[in-house]
Amino acid sequence: MSNYFNKEIETMPLEQLRELQSERLVEQVKHVYENVKFYHDKMDEAGIKPEDIKSVDDLSKLPFINKDDLRDQYPYGLVGVPLSECVRIQSTSGTTGRRVVAFYTQGDIDIWDECCARAIVAAGGTKDDVCHVCYGYGLFTGGPGLNGGSHKVGCLTLPMSSGNTERQLQFMEDLGSTILCCTPSYAANLGEAINERGLKDKIKLKAGIFGAEPWTEEMRKSIEDSLGIKAYDIYGLTEITGPGVSFECEAQAGMHVQEDHFIPEIINPETGEVLPDGEVGELVFTCITKKAFPLLRYRTRDLCKLTREKCSCGRTHVRMHKPMGRSDDMMIVKGVNVWPSQIEAVLLKQGYQANYQIVVDRHNNRDSIEVQVELTPEMAADNSVPVEIREKKIVDGLKSMLGIKVDVKVVEPKTIVRSEGKAKRVIDRRNLYV
Ligand code: ADP
Ligand code: ZN
């Protein structure tokens, strides 16, 4: 039996949801046209008046906005209310090099908090839970978002922030944390540390809410086993609000997009054409309620697909597939498209943990790609399989996954740097020469 933070909205019949979205979209378009010069000019250029947008069916008439627009408008160009109405600024973590600042009114923060509260309740959270938040706090949206959601649910909130693993474990044990919120890579590290110290029986964790970076199903299984919990995916981006734009329910089969606030579309990244449900393309979001930083048809560069198939949890909101990386993450190596998540899947299938690094380089115009992966302590203790055999098996696995030869180096346990926030899996040295 599923629990909801806001049952009426989360299980709203589709037709009613469409009406709500249409009403909100019409109002939002008027708001940005009147208050944001950038949109005013852009809509004028495209020959669109606010009156032309009468319902969600007209959404595709609006122009797109992308990360370069945000950079050009930095810092205040897209703010939709007087600064005196804004109460908060957050900023992207700069994974792709360009920082973006986003603004929030108190109303926008309330929306964000509620989305995170819905995610916590969907993961089984109630006011009796101890919610351990070790996403980073500060400009990064992870900590503040889940913190706000945890308060709204009424959980006892531990604002741990990231890092200092010893202290994390001590508080987890002493205070009986039941829900863990962090990046999946940090969850994997905590799992490793807990098992090394023989603490598994002493911790009370039952669920984890993990996001802010791509992770595979193999990684989910590995985290669930090592921590003895159910692991839920959560997605979001600073530009749209932060974590909670979408999240998983107990079905763990895609993340429900909070459609009463954010309308998703999937487009062909080359042509901009809107694609039907089920097709993979670039994810685009329109904020229909946020006032301070109201992005319309924002191109996320995240690639995924949507499904409207009925979900067993009773939520009616559309589900998005786990984005397996953004178009920016894709590397072209030896002329072939390579995603870090494909490499991760091969490694975890062969029993390795997600402690790996990918190094791409170029010499004499020829690309090389090397994957370094740590032996697990059990593998290191087992002398019956020579390292060369292990390496060959990974090389073969990667060859059949990617179609190219990847160099593989198996390294001793604990030699690859652990991540405390978003993991940096790829070192692309080719960028140094351009
Ligand atoms: P930055 O762009 O600097 O990383 P953010 O911290 O706002 O800024 O990160 C948002 C991005 O993180 C998303 O666009 C997406 O690529 C990635 N992301 C967030 N949550 C997930 C998730 N659950 N699965 C995969 N990728 C995610
Ligand atoms: Zn569901």
298 lines ligand 1 (CB under 6 A): no
Reduced 3-state DSSP string for the chain: CCCCCCHHHHCCCHHHHHHHHHHHHHHHHHHHHHHCHHHHHHHHHCCCCHHHCCCHHHHHHCCCECHHHHHHCCCCCCCCCCHHHEEEEEECCCCCCCCCEEEEEHHHHHHHHHHHHHHHHHCCCCCCCEEEECCCCCCCCHHHHHHHHHHHHCCEEEECCCCCHHHHHHHHHHHCCCEEEECHHHHHHHHHHHHHCCCHHHCCCCEEEEECCCCCHHHHHHHHHHHCCEEEEEEEECCCCEEEEEEECCCCCCEEECCCCEEEEEECCCCCCECCCCCCEEEEEEECCCCCCCCCCEEEEEEECEECCCCCCCCCCCEECCCCCEHHHCEEECCEEECHHHHHHHHHHCCCCCCEEEEEEEECCEEEEEEEEECCHHHHHCCCCCHHHHHHHHHHHHHHHHCCCCEEEEECCCCCCCCCCCCCCEEEHHHHHC
Q: Which ligand is nearest to the CA of 2?
A: 2
Ligand 1 atom closest to the CA of 99, numbered from 1: 3
Average pLDDT of the residues in 217-236: 97
Check pLDDT > 90 for residue 93.
no
409 C-alpha vs ligand 2 centroid, how far in Å?
Answer: 41
283 lines ligand 1 (CB under 6 A): no
pLDDT band of 135, cuts 50, 70, 90: very high
Q: Which ligand is nearest to the CA of 3?
A: 2
Per the prediction, the chain carries an average pLDDT of 95
Torsion of CA 395, 397, 400, 403, to 10 degrees: -40
Question: For 26-53, what is each residue's pLDDT tens digit?
Answer: 999 999 999 999 999 999 999 999 999 9
User: In a mutational test of the pocket of ligand 1, which residue from 68, 95, 181 has the highest number of ligand atoms less than 8 Å from its CB?
Assistant: 95
Protein residue closest via CA to atom 14 of ligand 1 = 237
More confident residue, 71 or 261: 261
Average pLDDT of the residues in 302-318: 97
Ligand 1 atom closest to the CA of 326, numbered from 1: 16
212 lines ligand 1 (CB under 6 A): yes
253 C-alpha vs ligand 2 centroid, how far in Å?
Answer: 7
More confident residue, 169 or 336: 169
Length of the chain: 434
213 lines ligand 1 (CB under 6 A): yes
112 C-alpha vs ligand 1 centroid, how far in Å?
Answer: 16
Residue 391, exposed/middle/buried by CB under 10 A (0-12, 13-18, 19+)? middle
Check pLDDT > 50 for residue 306.
yes
Q: Which ligand is nearest to the CA of 97?
A: 1
303 lines ligand 1 (CB under 6 A): no
Task: Provide the sign of the torsion angle of the four alpha carbons 391, 392, 397, 399, taken in this order.
Answer: positive
User: Residue 349's pLDDT is what?
Assistant: 94
Q: What is the pTM of this model?
A: 0.92
Average pLDDT of the residues in 414-424: 90
More confident residue, 363 or 407: 407
Check pLDDT > 60 for residue 434.
no
The residue type at 226:
S
Check pLDDT > 60 for residue 433.
no
95 lines ligand 1 (CB under 6 A): yes
User: In a mutational test of the pocket of ligand 1, which residue from 141, 235, 300 has the highest number of ligand atoms less than 8 Å from its CB?
Assistant: 235
User: Residue 330's pLDDT is what?
Assistant: 83
235 lines ligand 1 (CB under 6 A): yes
User: Residue 33's pLDDT is what?
Assistant: 98
Ligand 1 atom closest to the CA of 98, numbered from 1: 3
Ligand 1 atom closest to the CA of 140, numbered from 1: 6
Residue 223 neighbours by CB distance under 10 Å: 24
- The span from the CA of 59 to the CA of 44, in Å, is 16
User: Residue 432's pLDDT is what?
Assistant: 64
User: In a mutational test of the pocket of ligand 1, which residue from 246, 302, 304, 324 has the highest number of ligand atoms less than 8 Å from its CB?
Assistant: 302
Protein residue closest via CA to atom 25 of ligand 1 = 214
